[in-house]
Amino acid sequence: MANMDWSSLVEIDDSWYANQLVEHFKEINEKITVVVNTVKVSGTTMLPDSLVSVLHDMLPEYVFGKKKIEELGIKKAALTANRFFGERHTNSEGKFGELLLFALVESVLKCKMVAHKIRSLTNMSDQVKGGDGLFLGNYTLPDMTVESAFLLGESKIVSSLAIGLHEAFSSLDRFHNQLRSPEFRSTELLVAKENVLLSNDVDLDELYKRLNVETEEYKDQIHVHPVLIMFNTKSIGRMEQKALSRSDLEAKISTYITKAKGNIATGIAKQIKKYQDVSKVYLHFFIVPFNDVNKFRNAMYYAIHGVNYPEKEADE
Query: Is residue 299 classed as helix, strand or coil in its secondary structure?
Result: helix
Whether the full predicted model's pTM is greater than 0.85, yes or no, is yes
- What local confidence, expressed as pLDDT, does residue 12 receive? 86
Q: If DSSP codes are grouped into helix, strand and coil, which group holds residue 265?
A: helix
The pLDDT tens digits for 22-50 are 999 999 999 999 999 999 999 999 999 99
pLDDT score at 94: 64
Burial of 220 (0-12, 13-18, 19+ CB in 10 A): middle
User: Rounded CA gap, 73 and 71, in Å?
Assistant: 6
pLDDT at 130: 55
Q: In this predicted structure, what is the pLDDT of residue 170?
A: 93
Question: Regarding beta strands 112-115 and 32-39, do their DSSP bridges make them parallel or antiparallel, or are they unpaired?
Answer: unpaired
pLDDT of residue 15: 95
In this prediction, residue 126 carries a pLDDT of 42
**CA gap 116, 102 in Å, rounded:** 10
pLDDT for 108 equals: 96
Instruction: Pick out the chain residues at pLDDT < 70.
Output: 1-3, 85-94, 116-131, 178-200, 310-316
